Structure 1
Amino acid sequence: MAYPIVKHHGAINGVTGACHQLQMTSQSSILIDCGLFQGSDERIALDRNPLYPQIDFSLEGIKALVITHIHADHVGRLPHLLAAGFKGPILCSEPSAKLLPLILEDAFKLEVSREPKIIERYLQRVHQQVIALPFGHWFNIEQTDNLRAQIRLQRAGHILGSAYVECDLDYPQAALTRRIVFSGDLGAPHSPFLLAPVSPKRADVLVLESTYGDRLHENRLDRQERLEIAIDRALADHGTLLIPAFSMGRTQELLYEIEDILHRKALLGPAQAVCDDDQFLPINWPQVPVILDSPLASRLTKVYRELQDYWNEEAQVRLGHGRNPLHFEQLITIDSHARHLQTVNYLASTGRPAIVIAGGGMCSSGRIVNYLKRMLADQRHNVLFTGYQAKGTPGAAIQKYATSGGFVELEGERCMIHAGVSTLGGYSAHADQVDLLNFVSGMTEWPEEIRLVHGDERARKALARELLSLYRAQNRVVDVLVPTGAEPLVRS
C-alpha cells in the first residue's frame, strides 16, 4: 500500500465530528482534530457503532493529536480519546493552549463528571500533554531513515488561535515528498481581533472545509451599522435587547462592536426614544448596561484580554487610544446563578434599557432560556439572532413564528412570542464560497487533489463545481473528492 493515506473519522456527513487521521506509514500517523458529533451527525455515528460512537478507531501508532481550534465539533471527543488510552502530545497554537482548558472543563462537567477531584485530575493530564506551538514554526513529528515528518500551524482567522495545518512528509528511500494541508475551519475577512488567513504557498493535497461552500455571506463591512440600527430599534421603548450567543468567538466579536457603538453614541449625548405611552424619554448611552450572562463566556473573554498580542492592528489601535473593547465601563458580567435570576427579574419588571448577551446560541439551553421565558411575551423587549438557528431548535421556532404571534416551547413551558425578533447576518466565523476559492487560488502551487469535508451534501457539491470551474479557467487539473472513509493519497 502506498503512503500517505488519510482516514476520516468524522465531518464527512455533515459539519460536526471533525477528526482526520494522516497515516504516514503502516506504523505511524497523526490525528487532526477530534471533534464531537452533534445533532443528526451524532445519530449517524450511533447507528454506525452503538457501543463506541465516539472513538471507534485504533489508537495504535498515533504519534500526536493536532488541534486546529477549540470549538466542540473539533475538540469535544478529547475526553473520550484520553479515556481510550491516548497518551501522546496534543499540539495546538499558543492562544488555543490558553483557551482549551476552559472549553474542556466545561465539556467534561456536562459529559463526564462534576466531581472537583476528577475534573482536576483530568485537566492536569491535559496540561501535561499539551504543547503550544507558535504560528509559522515547523515542529518535528518523526525523524527516521524511512520518514521525516513535520507540521506547521498557520493562522486560519476563524476564532482566536485557530489554525490550518501544513504537514510535510519526506520519504528518503522512495525519493518522495508530499505536503498535505488540513484547513480546519477557515475564517471570513474583516473579523474583529483576527488577522485574515493567508494561503499556504503550496499543497499537494488539501483537505478543505465546505461549511458555506454553496453561499455568500452578507456584507461584513456594514454589519456594525446594521447592529447599531438593531440596537436603536430595540431600545427605543426602553426594553431589553436579548442576544443569544455562543461563548467562544461570537460573544467577543459582539462586545467589540457594541463597545464601539456605545463609545460613539456617548460622544453625541443623550438620544430621544419613544416609549409606549408616546412620551419622549432620553437614552443615556453611557449608562446603558451591557450584561454578559454566561460564566464560560466571561472566563473566555478574560483570556481573550490576556491574548492581546494576537489581536489585529485595528484592535491594537483601539487599545492604544485607552479603550478596552472587552473590559469597558458599561460591561457587567454575571457569574452566580442567584445573581442571574435577580437580573432576569429586574429587567423583566423595570423600564430600563439594557443589552444582554446570554449563553445559549440556539436557545435550547443556557441562561438565555430564563430571559426568554420571562420576556418573550412582552412587546417592549427584542431578540436579536446573530448566528445560524438549526432546524428543530427553539431559536429556529422563535424566528419562524415571531411574525404570526405564535409560541415556542421552552423547557416544557409554552411561551407566546410578542417581543420583536430580528436576525442580523454577516456574523458567520466561516469563510464563504468566494473565501474558500480564494484560499485555493492564493497558493503558488495549487493542490492536485482537494477533499471536501465539514459541509452538508449541497454545500460540498456546489463548492466542487466551483473548484472544477476555477481549475478549468486556469487550464489546471484537479481531483475533487468527497471522502467516505479511507482512500490513498498517492496512487500506485
Structure 2
Amino acid sequence: MPTSQPGDIIHHGAIDGVTGSCHQLFASAEHSILIDCGLFQGDEAAPDGSHANDLSINFDITSVQALVATHVHIDHVGRIPYLIAAGFRRPIYCSEPSAELLPLVLEDALKIGVTRDKKLIDTFLRYIHQQLRPLPYGKWQSIIDGELAIRLQRAGHILGSAYVECDLAKAPKKRIVFSGDLGAPYTPLLYSPRPPYGCDELVIESTYGDRQHHNRKDRAKALQRAIENALLDGGSVLIPAFSIGRTQELLYELEGIIHQQKKQHSKDSPWHNLPIIVDSPLASRFTEVYRRLKDFWDGEAKQRARRGRHPLSFEQLITVDEHGEHIALVNRLAQTRQPAIILAASGMCAGGRIVNYLQAMLNDPRHNILFVGYQARGTPGQAIQEYGPQNGYVDLEGERYTIRCGVDTISGYSAHADQKDLINFVKRMRKRPNTVRIVHGDDDAKWNLKQQLLAQSLAKHVVIP
C-alpha cells in the first residue's frame, strides 16, 4: 500500500448513502485525524465492510491522533464506543455544546445497541469524559504540533454543530474544509452557517443536493395545515423525530403556532388544548440541555424568551419518561378519539418508542404519520413513506403491518441545507476550492450537486468518492 501524503483523505463511511460519516485526513505519512465516526442505518455500508449489523472498526487506527466530531447525531458519532473498544485513547474535539450533549447520545447508543451492563457503560463514559476537548467556535487549535491545526465554525444543523477548517502545515500547505452536516438558513434556535473565507479542498455533504426546501414561513404553514387536516380524522398525529435537533426545532415551531392561534382565535380552535407529547426520555434530556445552553441560541429565540415565552417549555407540552407510562399512552391514544401530536424517536422509525405507536396505529385510518426528515434507504420510515399512500405494508420487529393510516411529508423541516444552500456555501467563499468531494448523499443527490457545481464553475475538480 502506498505511503499516505499530507492532505490525503480516506472515506470510511457516508459514501454509499447518508449514514456512517467517517473521514480520515492525513497530516503526514505517520499522523492522521478522523472527522466523525458514525453509525450506519438501513442498507448503507462502508468500503471496509462495516454496516448496521457490524459496526466494528475495520480500518487501521494506529496513525489516528485525534477525532473531531462535527455534531452529535448518531450517524456521525455512534461508532465512537467501537473506536474506543479498538484501543483509541486520543483526544475527541468538538464544540462546547456538543461536549455537553455527546455523553448523553453515546450512553443511549450503548444501551440500545451494545449492552445494558452499567459497569461497562460507565467505563466507556469515563473514557469519553477523559478524552473530550471542547473548543470554542472561531479559534484555531493545534492538533498535531507542526503539522495540523483546526478551527470549528457554526454549521447551523443542530445545537453545537460545526464545520471544520483544517490547516496542513507541511509542504505543500493546504486548507481543507469538512462541512459535516450543514443546516438551512433561518433554522429555529440556530445561527445560520456562514461559509469560510476559502479553502483548497472541500468535503461537502449532499443529503438534499437534488432538491429545494420550503422557506421558513411556508413550512410553518405546511406544518400547521398538515396537522389540522390530520386532526379532522379524530386521531393522533405521529411525528418520528430524532431526539436532538429536530424535536427541539419542532417544539419551537409548534409553540409559535399555538401562540398565534390563541391570539387570533377563540377557545374553540383545535390548538387551544391540543397536547404536544414528547415521548422520549432522551429527547426530554436533550431539551433540558438546549434550555440550559440558551447563550448559544440565535437572536430571534433569545428575544422570544425575553418576552416571557418558553419555546421549549410551554403549557401544552407533555413529556413521557417512564416505559409504563409510554405503553399506557400508546394504548389510550390507539383506542380513543383523543387528538394529540406525538413526537417520538427514532426519526427513521428504525427503533425506539415510535415503533410501539406504529404497531398500534398503522392499521387505523384515523391516525396520521407526518415525516419531517430524510428517510434512508432500507429503513422502516422509507418504506412507510413510499408504500403508505398505496396502503402497502412495512416490516417492524419481524412482523408485517398493513399501512392504512394517513401518511404525509414536509421536506422543509429537514435540518439539512438544500441544493441552493449547498451551492451558496461554495459560491460565497472568497477563495473557491480547487477540489470538491461530495459525500453523504444518495446517488441522484450527489450527481445533481456535482452538475450544478461544474455548471457554475465553482470548483476545478468535483469528485464523488
Normalised by the size of structure 2, how large is the TM-score? 0.93
Partner of 1:193: 189
Deviations 1:365-405 (A, max 9, x none): 22222223333333333222212334444334433444444
- How far apart are 1:464 and its partner, in Å? 1.7
Letter in 1 for 2:129: H
Please give the residue correspondences for 1:203-214 in structure 2 after superposition, counting only pairs within 5 Å: 203-214=199-210
**Whole-angstrom CA distance in 2 between matches of 1:212 and 1:283:** 36
- Any residues of structure 2 matched to 1:310-459 within 5 Å, and which? 310-459=296-445
Matches within 5 A, 1:58-207: 58-143=60-145, 147-171=146-170, 174=171, 176-207=172-203
Q: How many angstroms does 1:214 deviate by?
A: 2.1
Give, as a single letter, the amino acid of the residue that structure 1 aligns with 2:217. L
Is residue 41–residue 379 contact of structure 2 (8 Å, CA) maintained in 1? no
Partner amino acid for 2:156? G
| 2: CA distance, partners of 1:30 / 1:409 | 39
2: distance between equivalents of 1:40 and 1:376? 23
Superposition pairs for residues 41-60 of structure 1, below 5 Å? 41-42=44-45, 45-46=48-49, 54-60=56-62
Q: Do the aligned residues in 1 keep the contact of 2:18 with 2:376 (CA within 8 Å)?
A: no
1:242 maps onto 2:238 in alignment: yes
Aligned-residue offset at 1:270: 3.8
Counterpart amino acid of residue 95 in structure 1: P
1:301 aligns with 2:287: yes
Q: Say if 2:448 is the partner of 1:471.
A: no
Q: Distance in 1 between matches of 2:85 and 2:301?
A: 40
1:482 corresponds to which residue? 464
Aligned partners of 1:390 and 1:449: how far apart in 2? 27
Q: Deviations over 1:37-73 (max 9, x none)?
A: 332223764389x9x8632222223221111111122
Paired residue secondary structure (2:309): coil
Partners of 2:241 and 2:373 within 8 A in 1? yes
Is contact 1:190–1:220 with CA below 8 Å preserved after alignment? Answer: yes
Amino acid at match of 1:23: F
The residue identity in structure 1 corresponding to 2:175 is R
Percent identical across equivalent pairs? 56
Question: 8 Å contact 2:12–2:47 — kept in the other structure?
Answer: no
Contact 1:45 1:53 in 2 (8 A): no
CA shift for structure 1 position 407: 4.6
Seen in structure 2, the aligned counterparts of structure 1 residues 38 and 137 have a Cα distance that, compared at 3 Å, is same
CA deviation string 1:321-379 (max 9, x = no partner): 11111111111100111001111222233333221112232334222222233333333
Residues 22, 30 of structure 1: 8 Å contact kept: yes
Structure number with bigger Rg: 1
Q: CA deviation at 1:181?
A: 0.9
Aligned-residue offset at 1:101: 0.6
Counterpart secondary structure, 1:180: strand
Cα deviations by residue, 1:25-44 (Å, 9 ceiling, x for unpaired): 12222111111233222376
Q: Which amino acid aligns with 2:44?
A: D
Residue among 40, 43, 62 paired with 1:37 = 40
Do the aligned residues in 1 keep the contact of 2:154 with 2:163 (CA within 8 Å)? yes
Q: Secondary structure at the match of 1:152?
A: strand
- Return the offset for 1:254: 0.9
Tell me the C-alpha RMSD between the 2 structures.
Answer: 2.3
Tell me which moved more, 101-110 or 462-471.
Answer: 462-471
Which residue of the other structure, out of 247, 252, 256, is the alignment partner of 1:251? 247
Alignment match, 1:486: none
Q: 1:276 — aligned with what?
A: none
Conserved 8 A contact 2:42-2:379? no
Show structure 2 runs of 5+ residues with no match: none
CA gap 1:420/1:453 in 2 versus in 1, 3 angstroms: closer
Q: Which amino acid aligns with 2:182?
A: L
- Preserved contact between residue 21 and residue 29 of structure 1 (Cα < 8 Å): yes
Deviation track 1:417-457 (CA, whole Å, cap 9, x = no partner) reads: 44332222201111122111111111111111111222233
Distance 1:163 1:378, change over 3 A: same
Q: Gapped runs of 5+ residues in structure 1?
A: 272-281, 484-492
Q: Secondary structure at the match of 1:260?
A: helix
Cα separation, partners in 2 of 1:287 and 1:7, compared to 1, 3 Å: same
Measure, in 2, the Cα distance between the counterparts of 1:331 and 1:287.
10
1:419–1:309 distance in 2 versus 1, CA, 3 Å? same
Query: Residue deviations 1:248-306, cap 9 Å, x none?
Result: 211111111111111222223446xxxxxxxxxx4563322111101111111111111
Counterparts of residues 277-296 of structure 1 (less than 5 Å): 282-283=268-269, 285-296=271-282
CA distance 1:237–1:267, shift in 2 (3 Å): farther
Q: Give the structure 1 partner of residue 223 of structure 2.
A: 227
Q: Is the 8 A contact 1:269 1:284 kept in 2?
A: no
3-state SS of the aligned residue for 2:332? helix
Between 1:457-466 and 1:66-75, the stretch displaced more is 457-466
Task: Report how many aligned residue pairs link the two structures.
Answer: 461
Choose 240-249 or 121-130, whichever is displaced more: 240-249
* Counterpart AA for 2:344: A
Output the CA distance in 1 between the equivalents of 2:299 and 2:291.
15
